[in-house]
Structure 1
Amino acid sequence: MKVIARAALLVASSLAAIIVLGPLLWALSTSLKSDNHIFAVPPRWIPDEPTLVHFRRLLAEGVHWSFLNSTIYALGAVAAAVLVGAVAGYALVRYPVFGKRALLVLFMGVMAIPGYALLLPTQIAFVKLGLFDTRLALPILYAAHVMPFAVWMTRAHFAGVPRELEQAALVDGYSRLEAVWKVILPGARPALLSAAAFGFLYSWNDYITATTMLESPDLRTLPVALIFFQGFHGRDWGALMAGVVVATLPPVVLFLVFRRYLIGGFAEGSVKG
């Protein structure tokens, strides 16, 4: 029975890998083909004559600036959300906050509301505040969406840290801030990275919010810029697939570098939260 179970698990894992990796591998293959070979019949996974012409077309169209915009927006949102979320999570655990349970329920409720449902009133508010079509618009909105998740993840970690650990640091001469920075936060690395990864992926992949809050071409994010390769008279499949490959690289690299911390952080948050 164990052999059958392992074989079934192997088959299921292989099918899942094919379903997940198949489209990405096909996008990579298409991005390396010339225009004449993209629609060749029968299709080929491995290009006969690999070319980088589609990636050069992305650079010629200035997509690298959109890549930089997406990176700035995502990192800015992550930094703000994780910083505020960590402070709030610590305060909810260590201090007698009035209405603590109500606040946690409120955070969960905010996470359950689709951000797209509030885009119209948010756009009106940002126009009146002078934030519409600026570089601050997206980081603020992304941080507001990610912050409740960061609070829950960090709170779950801080709840499992004994108070005696902080008290020992205070006895050793640390201030409260130094005790949190040097003793508590290093152990919260998985929770912080999990919240940061969630925030980065959400910000990096967003399209609707970016198209609603930005109008200037020089402020476009990468997902918005790639849409312009789907013209009215036909799609530039080579450049579009090259853009898909470029857009996929940061999330993949993020997971490969921090996978150990991410898995530990999500597991800790699901158990203690």
Structure 2
Amino acid sequence: MRTPRYLVALAYLGVTAAAIVIAFPFVWLVLTALKPYSEIYAYPLLYVPRQVTFEHFQYVLGLNFPRYFANSVIIGSGTALATVAVAMLPAYATTRFRFPGRHGLLLSILISQMFPQIVFVVPLLLTLRRLDLMNTYLGVIVSYLPFTTPIAVWLTRNFFAEVPQEIEEAAAIDGYSRMQAFFKVVLPLTLPGIASVGIYAFLWSWSELMFALSFLTSSDMQTVPVFLTLFVGQYQTRWGPLFAGSVLASVPPIIVFGLLQRQFIRGLTTGSVKG
């Protein structure tokens, strides 16, 4: 039976309304970043700038913003790669093997996500100081792994579980070892799902503030979220530069989704492989 046209129209109307609601904060962010201060604080409120200005963007770029931006890219990319590398083998092992304590291990991974991030600041701070990893890219990346890896393990398990074991058995008949079958057969089939896990880890690290502010002590190493806190003071918030910096900071997530959206969608729909 064909769906009635009025239901299709209502569905499109609902999707359009939801898209407008979701997009409005970002549109407002861009419009405010293009307003001079006189229009930002104008009353009654001006939704569309009468006089477009790029002074806030120029001011932000003049404060060594590219350095903060590069730091975020390095830390985000490193976190994504490290998360995928750490999560793959535990996810595969808990999917393919049955061993004592397996369920307890998986449960402990879930429990680790119940603790607030601030609980780990002092222990990680002391650990990074002892390892001489304070104010380094590696130190921050390592501190992010306890938060990105557990979810990555659970997501990656689902992708591995959808790959039929008969494929690995066929690879074993062809002379492949377990590790060779994993890297040459299983891994290529799950790349879309693994890409979605990497995207998640990148975006998590890109927006993280607490650890970056605590473990990166010099401005040459700090990230974009730390940079944006410069415009929020005790008695005044400089909305123009704050919004302009936020617009620039939103560019990498948009690019990542734009370039890898197919892999992300395929990762969410992994399970169509038939044995």
TM range (shorter): 0.7 to 0.9
* Contact 1:28-1:242 at 8 Å conserved across structures: yes
Q: How does 1:189-200 map to 2 (within 5 A)?
A: 189-200=191-202
1:114 and 1:194 mapped to 2: Cα distance? 24
Q: In the alignment, which of 134, 152, 155 is matched to residue 154 of structure 2?
A: 152
Secondary structure of 1:220's match? coil
1:178 and 1:49 mapped to 2: Cα distance? 62
Which structure's residues are more often helix, by fraction? Answer: 1
Offset of residue 222 of structure 1: 0.5
* Contact 1:81-1:144 at 8 Å conserved across structures: no
* Contact 1:91-1:97 at 8 Å conserved across structures: no
Residues 150-175 of structure 1 deviation map (CA, whole Å, 9 limit, x = unaligned): 21122112122222212322333444
Give 1:207's aligned residue: 209
The answer on 1:134 being equivalent to 2:130 is no
1:8 and 1:120 mapped to 2: Cα distance? 52
Q: In the alignment, which of 43, 48, 51 is matched to residue 50 of structure 2?
A: 48
1:160 and 1:174 mapped to 2: Cα distance? 20
What TM-score do the two structures reach when normalised by structure 1? 0.87
Q: Partner amino acid for 2:133? A: L
The answer on 1:85 being equivalent to 2:87 is yes
Q: How does 1:97-246 map to 2 (within 5 A)?
A: 97-246=99-248
The answer on 1:61 being equivalent to 2:63 is yes
Gaps of 5+ in 1: none
What TM-score do the two structures reach when normalised by structure 2? 0.87
Q: Partner amino acid for 1:164? A: E
1:111 and 1:190 mapped to 2: Cα distance? 24
Q: Partner amino acid for 2:36? A: S
Q: Give the 3 Å change call, closer, same or farther, for CA 52–174 of structure 1 in structure 2.
A: farther
Secondary structure of 1:51's match? coil
Greater mean deviation of Cα atoms: 145-154 or 178-187? 178-187
Residues 59-85 of structure 1 deviation map (CA, whole Å, 9 limit, x = unaligned): 210121111111111111111110121
Greater mean deviation of Cα atoms: 82-91 or 128-137? 128-137
Q: In the alignment, which of 72, 75, 86 is matched to residue 74 of structure 2?
A: 72
Secondary structure of 1:136's match? helix
1:142 and 1:168 mapped to 2: Cα distance? 38
Q: Partner amino acid for 2:263? A: Y
* Contact 1:58-1:64 at 8 Å conserved across structures: no
* Contact 2:110-2:150 at 8 Å conserved across structures: yes
* Alignment RMSD (CA, Å): 2.4
* Contact 1:78-1:143 at 8 Å conserved across structures: no
